[in-house]
Amino acid sequence: MSKKLSPTHHVTYDHQQGDWKVLHGGADRAAARFDNKQEAVEAAREISRNQGTELKIHNRDGKIAQSDSHGHDPFPPKG
């Protein structure tokens, strides 16, 4: 049975590996890994823009610090 991926990407810290990773929501494996958070965020923004997903940027403790919408905004502004 295959997993359904959500329309999100996440930047998270991997405590076991000691690096930052970019994950597609619901995926088991990282799409990319980086030594520092800034590089991971830059790459994740590019991926998220290209795929039109929400981007969730987490702190080391796992809490979401920032969220960017690149196509699937759950709360779009009223126009």
Q: Is residue 52 part of a domain?
A: yes
Rounded CA-CA distance 15/28 in Å is 15
Q: Is residue 50 part of a domain?
A: yes
Q: Is residue 79 part of a domain?
A: no
pLDDT band for position 4 (cuts 50, 70, 90): low
Residue listed under structure tokens 């009223």: 78
Closest C-alpha to 40, from 60, 62, 57, 16? 57
Q: Is residue 20 part of a domain?
A: yes
pLDDT, one tens digit per residue, over 22-63 is: 999 999 999 999 999 999 999 999 999 999 999 999 999 999
* Rg of the Cα atoms in the chain: 13
Q: How many domains does the chain have?
A: 1
DSSP state of 1: -
The parent domain of residue 17 ranges over 8-67
